Amino acid sequence: MLETLKIPAPISEEKLVSLYKQMWLIRYFDEKVDQFFAKGLIHGTTHLCVGQEASAAGAIAVIRDTDKITSTHRGHGHCIAKGADVNKMMAELFGRATGYCKGKGGSMHIADLDKGNLGANGIVGGGIPLAVGAALTSKMKKLGYVVLCFFGDGASNEGSFHESLNLASIWQLPVVFICENNQYGMSGSVKEMTRVENIADRAVAYGIPGQVIDGNDMLEVMNAVYAAAEHARAGKGPVLIEAKTYRWKGHSKSDAKKYRTREEEEEWRKRDPIKRFKNVLIEAKVLTEEQADLLQEEARLEIEQAVEFAETSPQPPIDSLLEDVYA
């Protein structure tokens, strides 16, 4: 039962069940997007988070509705975990007027301020200073919210990363920096791009706690982020968490993944975060095999409905071309 699981206090059995379905929503969304890009029915580019579902769903599950997040170019999972409408997300990728950005932003520019999602970002590391700014607002106005700042391993070598951690540290801001280390920045291994063994080791340079976690272990993600968020909320300053995970797909739609072996991919697939979480829930008697199958099917149907919504939504009218454009 639930008491056999080491989970943060605010998480109920019902919440755990909903999180299992949410992980499938994230995966089915990105797999469906991958299919439509391959067929040329969605334009632009996209970056998929298949295989990384636990770091998004687990982290956001343990914060408050009033807390904020900043996302990345690989941000569909963060959006869904923060309560985004998958219909509006899919419509955005199809370039339809019913999308989050009225069909003009595409995959990398989805935001939902009402849900506390301050936005995905097409610039590597671009969301990190935005998270620090939002955390500064929270502290100065005594608003009480914490910001989760997601970024990839490649962003940890950007100046924005170092400047932001330094400012957040000296001002003791309520922000949790979450590096989703999926082993590759575009086509280069993190081992070739970064000399330190763990990106979280860089926390010591800024006098803040740093922690490495298994980004494919749902419960480990939840516990680490919950503790870090409460640390930040208590006025003790930021935390850097490195969630080691793996993206199953290429960097973007045009990536043939020639820089890694199929054997390596297969080894990481054995660590599938959804299957691992399912096994945990079944072992704890939170779910049965039949219930798990039903939740998976419900998630698949929701994504199919999102595709139908997107395909039947109108194109943006020509006279809206210059709306929402600022110079």
- Predicted confidence (pLDDT) per residue in 54-110, tens digit: 999 999 999 999 999 999 999 999 999 999 999 999 999 999 999 999 998 899 999
Whole-angstrom Cα distance, residue 8 to residue 182? 25
Stated as kind and residue range, the H or E segment containing 152 is strand 147-152
Instruction: Tell me which of 1-10, 159-168, 301-310 is least confident.
Output: 1-10
CA-based nearest residue to 69, from 13, 20, 12, 135: 135
CA-based nearest residue to 148, from 184, 171, 179: 179
Confidence of residue 178 (pLDDT cuts 50, 70, 90): very high
Domain ranges of the chain: 14-309
The type of residue at 83 is G
Whole-angstrom Cα distance, residue 36 to residue 31? 9
User: Which CATH homologous superfamily contains domain 14-309?
Assistant: Thiamin diphosphate (ThDP)-binding fold, Pyr/PP domains (3.40.50.970)
147-152 vs 239-244, strand pairing mode: unpaired
Instruction: Tell me which of 69-73, 181-185, 209-213, 299-303 is least confident.
Output: 181-185
Whole-angstrom Cα distance, residue 144 to residue 235? 10
Residues 186 and 154: beta-carbon distance below 8 Å: yes
Whole-angstrom Cα distance, residue 283 to residue 286? 8
Q: In the 8-state DSSP scheme, what is residue 4?
A: G
Q: In 10 A of CB 82, how many CB atoms?
A: 22
Helix, strand, or coil (residue 53) = helix
Predicted model pTM: 0.95
Confidence of residue 40 (pLDDT cuts 50, 70, 90): confident
Place of tokens 């639930």: 2
Stated as kind and residue range, the H or E segment containing 213 is strand 210-214
Residues 197 and 231: beta-carbon distance below 8 Å: no
